[in-house]
Structure 1
Amino acid sequence: MKTTQSQCSGTVLMVPPCHFGFNPETGRDNAFQHQPQLTTEALQQQAMAEFNTMVATLRQQGIEVLLLDTHHASQPTPDAVFPNNWFSTTANGQLVLYPMATPNRQAEVQPGPLTACLNAAGYQVRQQLDLRPQATPGQALEGTGALVFDHRLGKVYAARSQRCDPALFRLLPPSYQLVDFDTDCQGMPVYHTNVLLSIGEQFAVVCPEVIADAHRDRVLAELAEQRELILISAQQMQAFAANLLQLRSKSGELLIALSATAHQALLASQRAQLSQYGRLLPCRVDTIEHVGGGSVRCMLAEIFLPKVEGMA
């Protein structure tokens, strides 16, 4: 089932890590988080430096980067640097808001400031779909962290976890075929699907090792439809080698944004495979990865919205 939605965006929204720190609320099920050795001030300075360098790198390569101010939040939001979890957009002008698992992540969801930011950049929000009222307490479906969309073939991949409640799959667009599955990484479900899977126009990076035995062949067969699979190990996954995003620059060049950690973890042969589908763009976000438990893809919320008429 094909859709009219593009797989790659040339515009992303990012949120500065103003309140960045170890988040004990999410640390309960995110094995990728680690307690920092730095003071709060030093940690935030380091995270902000990594963030600013990444923004500059993307802009230099022809990617439009919108910045959303988070000072409006009602409480500290240590994970605000990962905005793709609480909203997504579509080419027909829809803004989708998702139910987050923990209170300090729920505080990140600020549709008013987000819409103002998008409108100021010339993007149209024609409809807002808020999924939060349809979730009961304790239920979560954390955006494009929990859901990895194959827009070209009309599929959505979902690894069931505390952040991806199967009871909420009924909220997914009916135009997409759901491919859901279980995972196991050291006795725990992988907290977000986009840690083990990334889908580009003609490739998919996936870690088969952590997909449950009963589901692995089915998931790989679905992914292999019209795409080359780049298979990574669980060790590489833990270095965020699947947490990457294919983008399209203003000039039309395909780029693949990933962390320096992920780039180093990939074998030369895997980097060569991946480079067929876009120029690799490693960004050093070591502090954000180590303490926040998320990487480059988590930091990028794609904007697919239409532009206001007359605006390029």
Structure 2
Amino acid sequence: MHSPKQITDTILMIRPVQFRMNEQTAVNNYFQEDLNVRNSEINQRAQEEFDAFVDVLRAAGVRVIVVSDRLETDTPDSIFPNNWISFHRNGTVVVYPMYAENRRRERREDILDILEGEGFKIDQVIDYTSAEEEGLALEGTGSICMDRVNQKAYCALSDRADEDLFIEFCEEFDVAPVIFTANQSVDGKRLPIYHTNVMMCLAEEFAVICLDTIDDRKERKQVRDHLRSDGREIITISEAQMHAFAGNMLQVLGRDNERLLVMSRAAHDSLDPEQIAAIEKTSRIVSSPLDTIETCGGGSARCMMAEVFLPQA
């Protein structure tokens, strides 16, 4: 059996063809905003941001497999593939149930053929999508933050992260569940954050996390204790920084096994010198402007990257 590794040098990204603000996800993704610009213009801007981002990643030595979205499916959020699929070291692919109906159309089998064509080995597919019939969702590595080395998985419960489904996933992968609720302030109310990966990022040596979103003191202590006991430095961000997508980062491997922490320009700009110094002890920050994608999509750099941990055939 392979020894587990937390990060990979290969990611799958989907280039958008119909990107816009998704009216079906806006109901509980409070990061989305209407830009008041024609959809064709929004899509063009998103494509430019996407292409520039891919260039930045490839320049740093990350292997990026780009697949174009399909016009006929009309999938405005296809740029965020990490929500419907994940690829694991034991050759397993997991396909997840989605909250919004139009996001279910993002799932496509040809992605598996493309990855096999790139030399990866797929042994089995675990499909949780039948849960949609009961109105349940578990949106991939949006909902689940994996600590692969310490065999744990973190999940902030919401309409897009069902507790029973998450526990089923943890049993399948033999990882310990760390379950909590994370909230944000919306019009004076505390409402669940739609995805775990906007409020926390697990890197090898550290975790970037907005602990202020975990309102329950016991839960907050439990999350902090797990991170500390695994030897991670905790880099806390504020809710304002989280809204600039400073929690939506991903550590990847670049050229010569260099550790990179990938984020948007807005996230990078929101960090203070101490936070940057803490990150730069072990990782080089790589960022790219994703303003249109963040504003209309309500997701950022992390959401755009589906990590490929599959073994090479």
User: What band does the TM-score fall into relative to the shorter chain?
Assistant: over 0.9
RMSD between aligned alpha carbons? 1.3
1:292 aligned to 2:291? no
Distance in 2 between residues matched to 1:251 and 1:83, nearest whole Å: 27
Identify the structure with the greater helix proportion.
Answer: 2
TM-score, normalised via structure 2 length? 0.94
Equivalent positions of 1:29-44 (< 5 A) are: 29-44=28-43
Please, which moves more after superposition, 167-176 or 57-66?
167-176
Structure 2 contact 98–132 (Cα < 8 Å) conserved: no
1:179 equivalent in structure 2: 178
Moved more, 127-136 or 286-295: 127-136
1:86 aligns with 2:84: yes
The 2-side partners of 1:85 and 1:248 are apart by 21
State the SS of the aligned residue for 2:300: coil
Q: CA deviation at 1:177?
A: 0.5
Aligned to 1:256: 261
Q: Number of residues paired by the alignment?
A: 304
Identity of aligned residues (%): 38
Q: Is the aligned partner of 1:143 residue 2:146?
A: no
* Residue identity matched to 2:107: V
Which one of the candidate residues 142, 159, 162 is aligned to 1:162? 159
Letter in 1 for 2:13: M
Kindly report structure 1 stretches of 4+ aligned residues shifted beyond 6 Å. none
**Distance of 2:3 and 2:215 partners within structure 1:** 32
- Paired residues of 1:5 and 1:90 also in contact (CA < 8 A): no
- Deviations, residues 35-68 of structure 1 (Å, cap 9, x unaligned): 1222111111110000000001111111000012
- 1:132-179 CA-to-partner distances (Å, cap 9, x unmatched) read 124543100000000000111111000000000112123213210000
Matched, 1:195 2:198: yes
1:207-286 paired onto structure 2 within 5 Å: 207-214=210-217, 215-225=219-229, 226-286=231-291
Asked if 1:98 corresponds to 2:103, the answer is: no
Residues 232-271 of structure 1 deviation map (CA, whole Å, 9 limit, x = unaligned): 1011001000100000124111111000000000001101
State the SS of the aligned residue for 1:204: strand
Instruction: Kindly provide the amino acid, as one letter, of the partner of residue 227 in structure 2.
Output: L
After TM superposition, give the deviation of residue 17 of structure 1 in Å: 1.5
Unaligned runs of 5+ in 2: none
User: Is the CA contact 1:93–1:125 (under 8 Å) kept in the aligned structure 2?
Assistant: yes
CA distance in 2, matches of 1:89, 1:146: 15
In structure 2, C-alpha distance between the alignment counterparts of 1:74 and 1:219, rounded to whole Å: 42
- AA aligned opposite 1:262: A
Q: Is the 8 A contact 1:135 1:168 kept in 2?
A: no
Distance across 2 between alignment mates of 1:273 and 1:265: 14
Under a length normalisation based on structure 1, what TM-score does the superposition of the two structures give? 0.95
